[in-house]
């Protein structure tokens, strides 16, 4: 919140400074519409922000000034000297208050009513703010912890750094050619790394995740809807899109305005919603995504929509369009009228979004950064506003690939996976001349980059690599490229129109060696490559059986273990399949381990004697933190578990048996694998032990993962180990033992009596708390 | 009328570019092709951490291809709508002062030249065709679409 207030103060100060000249000019010529508009926007912005921060006095002042100015703008009132003075007095008072907020002091005392009264038509006398202003000036301003830099300066620094990188590369070439001198090389290496660091830092200064912009929205909407007696659910998506810092600042206000409007005018009151058959809670979806060389921010509500006809009537009434022109407007143009100054379909003026002033400000702000605002609305169904802002100077993590010796970049956000065309579970087929790749049973259209670009590739089709792409809002397809190179973070700049006209590229960028690289637009390639895009993914799965209900089924990988057993492993935990020479598998520190590249993973699914000569194939399993290998003989198929699972009696590598493709298969318990093998890989010094009765299936199946996740090693009665915590059902007989704590669980949500310290067995938070406090007691 | 003109040779023809529009004259070393772009886009090149879109003037004028195989090419760098372009020319000759306002050329020129013509200017080196840089950059297709 403090940050937001600091932003607000900084914004107000900047506006006040800029306004200084405007106010004087307006005083001289009260008829000057442009000056009036900028003063109006200032008080409007202040008003908007005050509602959010709860500065009631500021809000009252700015609202009063806004009302008076709105009358002037609408031509209902003539700006006379008294009004000008009154407005100026209000702006001065706002300035004082902002200074007080900045210094963290209390608001200057005094009554604002006379200032507000002075705004009323025909009011006599003017306020004298001079004394107060002088007092404000003498106040010591608190030391600033941040400085504001102009983006031009940052740009200049950035381009200098880029030049520096190029100069370094040139120097590197020269150094390689000349006889090498170790001290010189060392110094050069250091210079190199400093330059790289600097480039990174300066690039980062400009970038921000759009999350920073979104983070305040739920609160704002909550407050707004509470104030208006509405119920609104905010759904935010795409917070990880990175955007130029300046861009984020520039779209902050427009976005706030649009959301205010959506909540205030778009979404109806609960009773009204129920009447028209909608859920009483309105949904406001805010999403950001990158599309080509633009960032799209959608703000969609399911409210009453915009009445285009009424907009037209209003526009005619206020003289924005002529009657004849109005008749010619398409529905889209009608909606676009919302962006004209002084138009609003709201019947009443409210404190929230006012009188349609927001939207002209929104449009001018967005257009200033080269963006576009679009509106689409269906009466009764809702409104969608789309902000399109350019991606200029946006950093994109990208994968560089090459085709016919030329390098290109693909935005990493669109990449689903990368597979080799001649890999294990990949087949390439041609259907009527079109390429179709089958990747682990999923059929995806294949686009050959060489043919899309019209380049000759000397890499045969089978030796290429397939990059599986999912463009924003599009369908999956596989792009075949000659070679994959590197992951890089690229600063993308828009390409010239003649290049963009191809539809294939999102921009250009410079590689580290200074040569230009083209960045692909995955959706564009799909379009040019003839991939039929659909809104929903409809890649066909190879049919498993006539009645496979995908929604309920769990996808598994069916395989044969080294001992010949038919087993299944949940697909989600399998990262990829590796093949290593048998020599990479060793028994070390009491555990079979496999070396994969530079890492050593615990190996499950095999004993030392089962690892023969030659190659060992293994699944690489990942739980997000640890990786383990699981050796297998062959992959049978992809399948889904549709039948009931018969759970094994004791926890172990196999959690149960089920029918998979009409034959029984053992289900490998990945949880158990990780619990055992990673614990063995990195044993904790002080492991807490929790005793859970082994005869209780609920505890073993439901509770055990939770306890283990809380950092406990779980044992059962049979194991003769000292437990730190014992979990038992209420009513169970347990021998008294002071060496451990006991957590009692009950099956009813309500406690039987006040003395009952038991925890309801589905009270997750309560359980975790109890486990945590038990563990903390032990740690001492 | 003291406008400065850059005299260059394109397809063997001496023409004038408005010197104010030309940022610099460079020698292009590397050229990265842009697959599927309009034919007159010869590719991309980098100049001091800026990406230049390289325009082959000969192709833009429908006068054939510039031979880029021999490596270094001379080019005039211009900025248009925030993008930088390098116009490949045969030779950059000189800067001269315009002696007159551009006047229409009444003789029949080739269609390519006609499209990029701003008129004829008098200089101390004789009359020269003043080339419209934007038209040169836009090339053939943009004109056809307009």
What ipTM describes this predicted complex? Answer: 0.86
Choose the most confident range, by mean pLDDT, from A149-158, A476-485, A721-730, B64-73.
A476-485
Residues 6+ apart with CB under 8 A from A416: A468, A469, A470, A476
Chain A residues in contact with B37 by the CB 8 A cut-off are 498-499, 501-502
Choose the most confident range, by mean pLDDT, from A41-50, A567-576, A638-647, B78-87.
B78-87
Of the pLDDT bands very low, low, confident and very high (cuts 50, 70, 90), residue A547 is very low
Q: What is the DSSP letter of B32?
A: B
Lowest mean pLDDT among A268-277, A290-299, A425-434, A671-680: A671-680
Of the pLDDT bands very low, low, confident and very high (cuts 50, 70, 90), residue A370 is low
Lowest mean pLDDT among A398-412, A653-667, B2-16, B99-113: A653-667
Torsion of CA A427, A431, A435, A439, to 10 degrees: -30
Nearest CA in chain A to B86: A496
Mean pLDDT of A565-577: 77
Greater confidence (A123 vs A19) lies with A19
Between the alpha carbon of residue A755 and those of residues A330, A368, A458, A752, the distances in Å are 73, 67, 80, 8
- Which string of DSSP letters, residue by residue, matches A436-454? EEEETTEEEEEEEHHHHHT
Per-residue pLDDT at B122: 87
Per DSSP, the three-state class of A321 is coil
Per-residue pLDDT at A197: 85
Nearest CA in chain A to B83: A496
Per DSSP, the three-state class of A612 is coil
Q: What is the pLDDT of residues A37-60, one digit of tens each?
A: 878 888 887 777 776 777 777 788
Per-residue pLDDT at B85: 92
Per DSSP, the three-state class of B86 is strand
Per-residue pLDDT at A624: 66
Nearest CA in chain B to A517: B32
Rg of chain B (C-alpha set): 15
CATH of domain A396-528: 2.40.50.180
| Burial degree of A348 (CB within 10 A; 0-12, 13-18, 19+) | exposed
What is the spatial distance between Cα A40 and Cα A25, in angstroms, rounded to a whole number?
A: 14
Q: What is the mean pLDDT of chain A?
A: 75
Per DSSP, the three-state class of A87 is helix
The tokens 């008749």 sit on which residue?
A327
How many Cβ atoms from other residues are within 10 Å of residue A105's Cβ? 11
Chain B residues in contact with A508 by the CB 8 A cut-off are 44, 51
Element (H, E) at A640: strand A634-641
The tokens 């009657």 sit on which residue?
A323
Domain residue spans of chain A: 2-138, 151-209, 211-390, 396-528, 554-678, 684-779
Q: Is the dihedral of CA A276, A278, A280, A283 positive or negative?
A: negative
Q: What is the pLDDT of residues B81-135, one digit of tens each?
A: 778 899 988 888 888 888 888 888 888 888 888 888 888 888 888 888 898 888 8
pLDDT above 50 for A217? yes
Q: What is the mean pLDDT of chain B?
A: 83
What is the spatial distance between Cα A87 and Cα A772, in angstroms, rounded to a whole number?
A: 60
Per DSSP, the three-state class of A219 is helix
Question: How would CATH label the architecture of A211-390?
Answer: 2-Layer Sandwich (3.30)
Closest-CA residue to A364 (of A11, A16, A45): A45
What is the spatial distance between Cα A329 and Cα A314, in angstroms, rounded to a whole number?
A: 14
Per-residue pLDDT at A139: 41
- Which string of DSSP letters, residue by residue, matches B98-135? --S--B---S---HHHHHHEEEEEEETTEEEEEE-HHH
Best mutation target among A161, A451, A498 (most B Cβ atoms within 10 Å) is A498
Cβ within 8 Å, pair A515-B35: no
Residues 6+ apart with CB under 8 A from A348: none
Question: How would CATH label the architecture of A684-779?
Answer: 3-Layer(aba) Sandwich (3.40)
Provide φ and ψ at B71, rounded to 5°: 95, -110
Chain A residues in contact with B35 by the CB 8 A cut-off are 406, 453-455, 502, 504
Cβ within 8 Å, pair A162-B37: no
Chain B residues in contact with A517 by the CB 8 A cut-off are 32
Nearest CA in chain A to B28: A515
Contact call for residues A632 and A618 (beta carbons, < 8 A): yes
pLDDT above 80 for A750? no
Distance from CA of A497 to the nearest CA of B (A): 9
- Which string of DSSP letters, residue by residue, matches A45-76? HHHHHHHHHT-HHHHHHHHHHHHHHHHHHTTS
Q: How far is C-alpha A207 from the chain's CA centre?
A: 14
Q: What is the pLDDT of residues A297-338, one digit of tens each?
A: 999 988 888 888 888 887 787 777 777 777 777 777 778 777
Give the B window 46-105 contacts with A, CB below 8 Å: 46, 48-49, 51, 53, 55, 81, 83, 85
What is the spatial distance between Cα A717 and Cα A704, in angstroms, rounded to a whole number?
A: 14
Strands A759-760 and A741-746: parallel
Of the pLDDT bands very low, low, confident and very high (cuts 50, 70, 90), residue A154 is confident
Q: HSE, CB side, 13 Å, CA atoms: give it for residue A584.
A: 21
Per-residue pLDDT at A35: 78
Question: How would CATH label the architecture of B4-145?
Answer: Beta Barrel (2.40)
Report the side by side order of strands in the sheet with A627-632.
Answer: A574-581, A615-622, A627-632, A599-604, A591-596, A585-588
Cβ within 8 Å, pair B49-A515: no
If you count them, how many residues does chain B have? 146
Percentage helix, strand, coil for chain A under 3-state DSSP, each rounded to 5: 40, 25, 35
Chain B residues in contact with A452 by the CB 8 A cut-off are 36
CB burial string A201-216: b at 16+ within 10 A, e below: ebbeebbbbbbebbeb
pLDDT above 80 for A742? no
Lowest mean pLDDT among A273-282, A311-320, B65-74: B65-74
Contact call for residues A284 and A262 (beta carbons, < 8 A): yes
Q: Chain A: which residues have CB within 8 Å of chain B?
A: 159, 162-163, 165-166, 406, 452-455, 493-499, 501-502, 504-505, 508-510, 514-518, 528
Nearest CA in chain A to B32: A516
Q: What is the pLDDT of residues A223-233, one digit of tens each?
A: 888 888 888 88
Contact call for residues A132 and A110 (beta carbons, < 8 A): yes
Closest-CA residue to A603 (of A613, A594, A612): A594
Instruction: Tell me, yes or no, if B41 comes closer than 8 A to chain A by beta carbon.
Output: yes
What is the spatial distance between Cα A398 and Cα A405, in angstroms, rounded to a whole number?
A: 18
Report the side by side order of strands in the sheet with A688-691.
Answer: A712-715, A688-691, A725-729, A741-746, A759-760
How many Cβ atoms from other residues are within 10 Å of residue A639's Cβ? 23
Per DSSP, the three-state class of A480 is strand
Q: What is the DSSP letter of A701?
A: I
Distance from CA of A492 to the nearest CA of B (A): 11
Nearest to B37 among A162, A499, A528 (CB): A499
Report the side by side order of strands in the sheet with A382-390.
Answer: A232-237, A282-291, A294-301, A382-390, A372-378
pLDDT above 60 for A512? yes
Of the pLDDT bands very low, low, confident and very high (cuts 50, 70, 90), residue A17 is confident
Q: How far is C-alpha A121 from the chain's CA centre?
A: 49
Mean pLDDT of A522-545: 55
Provide φ and ψ at B4, rounded to 5°: -90, 140
If you count them, how many residues does chain A have? 780
Closest-CA residue to A48 (of A279, A255, A273): A255
Contact call for residues B137 and A497 (beta carbons, < 8 A): no
Distance from CA of B96 to the nearest CA of A (A): 30
Q: Which residues pair with A45 in a beta bridge?
A: none
Q: What is the DSSP letter of A541?
A: B
pLDDT above 60 for A685? no
Question: How would CATH label the architecture of A2-138?
Answer: Up-down Bundle (1.20)
What is the spatial distance between Cα A533 and Cα A552, in angstroms, rounded to a whole number?
A: 27
Chain A residues in contact with B38 by the CB 8 A cut-off are 498, 501
Torsion of CA A720, A725, A730, A732, to 10 degrees: 20
Cβ within 8 Å, pair B48-A510: no
The tokens describing A114, both together, are: 């006379």
pLDDT above 60 for A140? no
What is the spatial distance between Cα A511 and Cα A517, in angstroms, rounded to a whole number?
A: 6
Q: What is the pLDDT of residues A72-117, one digit of tens each?
A: 877 777 777 777 778 878 888 888 888 887 777 766 666 777 777 7
Lowest mean pLDDT among A270-274, A500-504, A587-591, A625-629: A587-591
The tokens describing A610, both together, are: 């089962």
């Amino acid at each position: 919140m403090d940050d937001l207030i600091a932003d607000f103060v900084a914004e107000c100060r900047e506006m006040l400074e800029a306004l200084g000249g405007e106010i004087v000019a307006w005083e001289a010529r009260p008829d000057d519409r442009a000056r009036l508009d900028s003063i109006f926007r200032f008080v409007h912005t202040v008003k908007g922000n005050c509602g959010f921060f709860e500065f009631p006095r500021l809000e009252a002042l700015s609202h009063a000034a806004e009302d008076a100015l709105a009358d002037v703008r609408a031509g209902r009132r003539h700006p006379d000297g008294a009004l000008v003075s009154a407005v100026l007095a209000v702006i001065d008072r706002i300035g004082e208050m902002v200074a007080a907020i900045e210094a963290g002091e209390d608001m200057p005392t005094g009554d604002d009513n006379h200032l507000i009264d002075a705004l009323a038509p025909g009011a006599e006398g003017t306020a004298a703010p001079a004394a107060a202003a002088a007092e404000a000036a003498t106040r010591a301003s608190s030391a600033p912890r941040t400085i504001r830099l102009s983006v031009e300066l940052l740009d200049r620094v950035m381009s200098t750094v880029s030049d520096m990188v190029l100069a370094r590369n040139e120097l590197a070439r020269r150094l390689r050619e000349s006889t090498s001198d170790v001290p010189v090389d060392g110094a050069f290496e250091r210079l190199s790394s400093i330059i790289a660091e600097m480039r990174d830092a300066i690039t980062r200064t400009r970038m921000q995740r759009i999350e920073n912009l979104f983070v305040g929205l739920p609160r704002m909407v909550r407050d707004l809807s509470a104030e208006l007696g509405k119920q609104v659910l905010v759904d935010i998506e795409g917070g990880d899109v990175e955007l130029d810092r300046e861009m984020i600042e520039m779209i902050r206000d427009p976005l706030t305005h649009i959301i205010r409007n959506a909540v205030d005018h778009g979404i109806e009151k609960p009773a009204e919603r129920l009447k028209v058959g909608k859920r009483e809670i309105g949904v406001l979806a805010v999403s950001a995504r990158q599309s080509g060389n633009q960032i799209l921010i959608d703000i969609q509500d399911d409210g009453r929509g915009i009445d285009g006809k009424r907009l037209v009537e209003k526009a005619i009434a206020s003289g924005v369009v002529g009657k004849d022109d109005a008749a010619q407007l398409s529905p889209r143009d009608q909606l676009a009228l919302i962006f004209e100054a002084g138009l609003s379909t709201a019947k009443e003026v409210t404190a929230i979004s006012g009188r349609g002033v927001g939207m002209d400000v929104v449009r001018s702000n967005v257009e200033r950064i080269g963006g576009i605002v679009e509106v689409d609305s269906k009466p009764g169904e809702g409104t969608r506003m789309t902000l399109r802002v350019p991606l200029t100077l946006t950093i994109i993590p990208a994968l560089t690939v090459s085709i016919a010796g030329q390098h290109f970049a693909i935005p990493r956000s669109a990449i689903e996976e990368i597979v080799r065309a001649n890999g294990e579970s990949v087949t390439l087929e041609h259907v009527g001349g079109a390429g179709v790749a089958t990747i682990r049973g999923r059929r995806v259209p294949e686009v050959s980059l060489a043919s899309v670009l019209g380049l000759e590739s000397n890499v045969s089709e089978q030796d290429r690599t397939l990059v599986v792409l999912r463009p924003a809002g599009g369908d999956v397809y596989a792009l075949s490229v000659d070679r994959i190179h590197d992951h890089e973070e690229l600063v993308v700049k828009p390409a010239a129109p003649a290049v963009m006209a191809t539809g294939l590229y999102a921009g250009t960028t410079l590689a580290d060696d200074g040569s230009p690289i083209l960045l692909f637009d995955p959706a564009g390639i799909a379009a040019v490559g003839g991939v039929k895009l659909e809104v929903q993914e409809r890649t066909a799965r190879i049919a498993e059986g006539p009645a496979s209900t995908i929604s309920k089924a769990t996808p598994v990988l069916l395989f044969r273990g080294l001992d010949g057993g038919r087993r299944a492993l949940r697909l989600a935990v399998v990262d990829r399949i590796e093949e290593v020479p048998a020599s990479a598998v060793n028994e070390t520190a009491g555990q079979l381990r496999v070396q994969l590249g530079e890492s050593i993973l615990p190996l499950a699914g095999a004993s030392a004697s089962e690892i023969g000569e030659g190659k060992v194939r293994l699944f690489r399993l990942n739980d997000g933190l640890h990786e383990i290998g699981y050796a297998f003989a062959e992959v049978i198929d992809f399948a889904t578990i549709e039948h009931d699972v018969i759970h094994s009696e004791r926890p172990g590598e196999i959690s149960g048996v089920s029918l998979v493709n009409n034959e029984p298969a053992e289900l490998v318990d990945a949880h158990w694998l990780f619990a055992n093998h990673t614990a063995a890989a990195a044993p904790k010094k002080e492991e807490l032990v929790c005793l859970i009765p082994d005869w209780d299936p609920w505890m073993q199946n439901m509770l055990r993962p939770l306890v283990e996740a809380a950092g406990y090693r779980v044992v059962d009665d049979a194991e003769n180990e000292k437990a730190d915590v014992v979990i038992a059902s209420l009513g169970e007989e347990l021998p008294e033992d002071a060496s451990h704590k006991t957590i009692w669980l009950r099956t009813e949500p309500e406690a039987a009596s006040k003395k009952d310290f038991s925890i309801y067995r589905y009270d997750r938070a309560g359980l975790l708390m109890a486990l945590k406090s038990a563990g903390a007691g032990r740690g001492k | 009328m003291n406008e400065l003109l850059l005299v260059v040779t394109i397809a063997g023809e001496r023409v004038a570019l408005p010197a104010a529009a030309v940022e610099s004259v460079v020698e292009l070393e590397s050229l990265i092709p842009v697959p599927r772009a309009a034919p007159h886009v010869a590719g991309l090149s980098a100049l001091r951490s800026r990406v230049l879109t390289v325009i082959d003037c000969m192709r833009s004028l429908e006068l054939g291809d510039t031979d880029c195989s021999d490596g270094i090419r001379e080019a005039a760098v211009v900025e248009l709508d925030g993008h930088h372009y390098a116009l490949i020319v045969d030779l950059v000759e000189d800067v001269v002062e315009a002696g007159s306002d551009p006047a229409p050329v009444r003789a029949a020129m080739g269609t390519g030249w006609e499209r990029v013509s701003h008129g004829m200017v008098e200089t101390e080196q004789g009359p020269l065709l003043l080339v419209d840089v934007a038209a040169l950059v836009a090339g053939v297709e943009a004109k056809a679409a307009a």
